[in-house]
Amino acid sequence: MHARHFFKLLPIVALCLSAAMPSAASARERERFIRPNADGGATAGRLAGGAGPNGGGFLRGRRTQGDGQGNVTSTSGGAFRGPNGASGARAAQVTHNADGSASRQGGFAASGEKGSVNSQGNVSRTADGAVSGERTTSATGANGNTYQGSTTYTKGEGVSHTGTCSDAAGNSIPCAR
C-alpha cells in the first residue's frame, strides 16, 4: 500500500476504533487469535479495549500475517478518548520481506483543549541495504499558532529538516526551540 493511501486511512481507523470502545464503567476486554492462512503461513492478532468510569476509553489492535516464505506484514492501530474530551489515534504497517527489504509506514493524530497534532512518516530499506525515510508533522496550539515541518533521511546523505511557524492570523513567526 502506498504511504499516501495508508495515511488517508488514519481518520477512518480512529472513527472505527473509538466507536467500538467499551462503554461500561471500568470495562476491559481482550481478545487474541492465531490460525493458519491460505498463503501457507499464519495470521495472528489481538484486540484490547477499555473504558474508565469518567468517560475515557481506549482500543488497540494488531494483525500479523506471514506467508511461510519469510515475508511478514504487521498492521496495528489504536485510539483513545479522555474524560476531558481529548482524543487521538495511530496506525502503522511494518513489512519484512524474505529478501531483507523492509518498510514501515505510520501516523498519528491527537487533539484536545491545548491544540492538535498530526504526523505521518515512512522508512524503507532495500534488499541491498539502502535506507531512506521521511516524516511530516503539523500542529496547532490552543492560541491558533501553527507548525508545519518535514524531515527526510537518506543513508549516506544524512538528515534534512524544514519547518515553518505561523500565528493565528497566518503571519510567519519564529519557531520555538
pLDDT in tens, the chain (177 residues): 333 444 444 444 444 444 444 444 456 889 999 999 999 999 999 999 999 888 899 999 999 999 999 999 999 999 999 999 999 999 999 999 999 999 999 999 999 999 999 999 999 999 999 999 999 999 999 999 999 999 999 999 999 999 999 999 999 999 987
Could you list the beta-strand ranges (E) of 22-114.
28-36, 42-51, 57-66, 72-81, 87-96, 102-112
pTM: 0.79
Report how far apart, in Å, the C-alpha atoms of 115 and of each of 97, 100, 141 are: 39, 40, 4
Residue type for position 37: N
Report how far apart, in Å, the C-alpha atoms of 149 and of each of 41, 69, 82, 107 are: 40, 39, 27, 14
Answer whether 145's CB lies under 8 Å from 168's CB.
Answer: yes
